[in-house]
Chains A and B, each alone.
Chain A
Amino acid sequence: MTEIKKVLVVDDDPDFRGQMEIMFSTRGYEVTTAPGRKEAQETFQTFVPDIAVVDLMMENDDDGFVLAYRLKKRFPDCIVIMVTNVTGETGIEFPGEDDSSGWINADAVLSKPVRFEQIEEELRKIESR
């Protein structure tokens, strides 16, 4: 039997958090959510995530970057998926999976609104690498 995978969802939008929680938990994942970077870091002691879905802009515009960096440092095997509204609002394109600069510590970057199928697709791609 495979081990139950653990997912950390960090977003200041309670609806997005709730939807991700329902999606992941009905698919058999164990889910913990946090509304911000600080709260997410507090879970590090007790929760070892296999996957983290992290919003880029929360209380501070760069919370997602900082959190992704800390997640990767603490849990090097954790898959980090960054979700963001930034492209739609500012027109700034973020380097996605083919990011060669390495300045985003995420395995995938998805633009909101994000469909759950997109996340599943990214996970499949990353896990088969």
Chain B
Amino acid sequence: MAEEKILTLLIVDDEAGMRAGVRRSLRHFSMEIEDTAEVIKLNVAEAASGEEAIALMEKASPDIVLLDNKMGGITGLEVLQWINEKDLDLMAIMITAYASIETAITATKEGAYDFLPKPFTPAELKVSVRQAAAHLVALRQSRELEREKKRVRFQFISVLAHELKAPLAAIEGYLYLLRDGTGLDDPAVYDRVVARSLLRLSGMRKLIYDLLDLTRLESGQKRRELTDVDVLDCARNSMETMEPDADRRGITISLESSVEEVVITADSGEIEIIFNNLISNAVKYNRDNGSVIVKIENERKLVRISVSDTGIGMSGEEMEKLFGEFVRIKNSKTRNILGSGLGLSIMKKIASLYNGNVTVDSTPDVGSTFTVTLGKKI
């Protein structure tokens, strides 16, 4: 059902007959905004002079003002100037007895939205009010959208700043240790200080690279080189890259596919990013001596890549949280695992370029399976 929204219209005119006429004409006013399926209705208020109008508007700003110019006391134009000074969020329609060019120009300068030359018919009035209402609603919507964009941007930058500050603080701490020579006569301490500093630095570099990948993908600035790419080949390359990390923890990585090659039109760099993310996560979040299975299924219209691990897994609640930017699941099992929190966002962006998606299935302490689908035709 359409939501009803009531806008307040203030008619400012020193003729009582005029005010009554406007009220009568707009009594059954109703219009639908298609975008939001909102139905706009009007609540009409009256003021018999400019002074009264200002007194009313000081209490509560109306949404639309119908303003007669020639009144005893302060004029409509002066009321309009007052509205501008107060920066009220409303649409003003000037009613002018003689549609004089000078009044029109001055009123436009003062920000009037429309003019109604007297005498006007109820139909003319309704058309003008309708346009003003539509304009006002659209303006407020775009302002709201802009605010939301700013909010998201601010949040992104805040989290990013935190993610960059954390390794900096760690490295800074180690440098202070080195400067003070604290405990460095123990070679094990020295080695640890250096190794951890390097690890935090590489994590920071990974975050910056991920961020650049994400920004390029989002802005569409990255030149995509589409060629015939063998998905199985990409999988093997990535498995090789991840092998040293896996070996160190006794984790095996194996490839399952029913065919020898799966060729799609793609940017090989993008496919590489997907495999690197999937496989490195499957290693990182695995248990020691666990296994990783990379499975490629060749379907008629798409390629399905799924990577399963035998790791810590996730609860349903954690899975829901997972797909946000910079989201890293924080619990006792993950606290020693480093990551940028951008991997999934990047994979999702890439998959969408191939009309595909990313899904996850997981059981705590059993393992997770991440599945990426990529359309063959793009």
A binding-site residues for B, Cβ under 8 Å: 12-16, 18-19, 22-23, 25-26, 35-36, 38, 59, 85, 88-89, 112-113, 115-116
Chain B positions 138-194 with a Cβ under 8 Å from a chain A Cβ = 158, 162, 165-166, 168-170, 172-174, 176-177, 182-183, 189, 192-193
Q: Which residues of B lie under 8 Å from residue A89 when comparing CB positions?
A: 158, 162
| Residue contact A112 to B169, C-beta cutoff 8 Å | yes
Would you give the shortest CB distance from B46 to chain A, in whole angstroms? 47
B contacts, CB < 8 Å to A: 158, 162, 165-166, 168-170, 172-174, 176-177, 182-183, 189, 192-193, 196, 200, 330-332, 335-336
Q: Choose one: B162, B166, B200, B332; the contact of A59 (CB below 8 Å).
A: B332
Given contacts A22-B182, A36-B332, A59-B330, contact A113 B173 (CB under 8 A): yes
Q: How far is the CA of A65 from the CA of B335 in the complex (A)?
A: 20
Q: How far does the alpha carbon of A12 sit from the alpha carbon of B331 in the complex, in Å?
A: 10
Q: Which residue of A lies closest to B199 (CB)?
A: A15
CA distance A112 to B166 in the complex (A): 9
What distance in Å separates the Cβ of A118 from its nearest Cβ neighbour in chain B? 11
Instruction: State how many angstroms separate the Cβ of B101 from the closest Cβ of chain A.
Output: 54
- Listed from nearest, the 4 A-B pairs whose CB atoms lie closest are A15-B170, A113-B169, A26-B183, A19-B173
Closest to A89 in B: B162
Is A16 a contact partner of B170 (Cβ separation < 8 A)? yes
Partner of B172, one of A26, A38, A88, A113: A113
A13 touches B166 (CB 8 A): yes
Give Cα A33–Cα B127 distance, bound, in whole angstroms: 74
Q: Which residues in B have their C-beta under 8 angstroms from that of A19? A: 170, 173-174, 176-177
Given A12, A22, A85, A113, which contacts B335 in the complex, CB threshold below 8 Å?
A: A12
Would A22 and B170 count as touching, CB distance under 8 A?
A: no
Shortest CB distance A39–B (Å): 8
Q: Which residues of A contact B169 (CB under 8 A)?
A: 16, 112-113
A35 to B196 CA separation, bound complex (whole angstroms): 17
Q: Which of B176, B182, B335 contacts A115 (CB under 8 A)?
A: B176
Contacts A14-B196, A25-B183 known; 4 new A-B pairs at CB < 8 A = A12-B335, A14-B335, A22-B189, A36-B335
B192/A18 in contact, CB under 8 A: yes
A89 to B158, CA, bound (A): 7
- Determine the main DSSP class of A at the interface with B: helix
The 8 sampled A-B contact pairs (Cβ below 8 Å) are A13-B170, A14-B335, A19-B170, A19-B176, A23-B177, A59-B335, A89-B162, A113-B173
Are A14 and B336 in touch, CB under 8 angstroms?
A: yes
Inter-chain CA distance A36–B183, complex, in Å, is 25
In Å, the complex CA distance between A13 and B335 comes to 8
Residues A22 and B165 in contact in the complex (CB < 8 Å), given A14-B336, A16-B170, A89-B158: no
Nearest CB in chain B: distance from A18 CB, A: 7
Task: Verify A26–B330 contact, CB threshold 8 A.
Answer: no
Q: Which residues of A contact B331 (CB under 8 A)?
A: 59
Residue numbers in A under 8 Å from B335 (CB-CB): 12, 14, 35-36, 59
- Report chain A residues within 8 Å CB of B330: 12, 59
Say how far B171's CB is from chain A's closest CB, in angstroms: 8
Query: Cβ of B176: which chain A residues have Cβ within 8 Å of it?
Result: 19, 115-116
Q: How far is the CB of B5 from chain A (nearest CB, A)?
A: 35
Would A15 and B173 count as touching, CB distance under 8 A? yes
Q: CB-CB < 8 A to A15: which residues of B?
A: 170, 173-174, 196, 200
Q: Which one, A16, A35, A36, contacts B173 given CB within 8 A?
A: A16
What chain B residues lie within 8 Å of A14 (beta carbons)? 196, 335-336
Contacts of B165 in A (CB 8 A): 85, 88
Q: How far, in angstroms, from A59 to B182 measured CA to CA in the complex?
A: 30
Which of chain A's residues have a CB closer than 8 A to the CB of B174? Answer: 15, 19
Expressed in whole angstroms, the Cα–Cα distance for A19 and B189 within the complex equals 10
The docked-state distance in angstroms from the alpha carbon of A112 to that of B172 is 11
* Chain A residue at minimal CB-CB distance from B185: A26
What's the Cα separation between A15 and B198 when bound, in Å? Answer: 12
Q: Which residue of B lies closest to A22 (CB)?
A: B183
Q: How distant is the Cα of A116 from the Cα of B335 in the complex, in angstroms? A: 23
Return chain A residues, CB-CB under 8 Å to B182: 22-23, 26
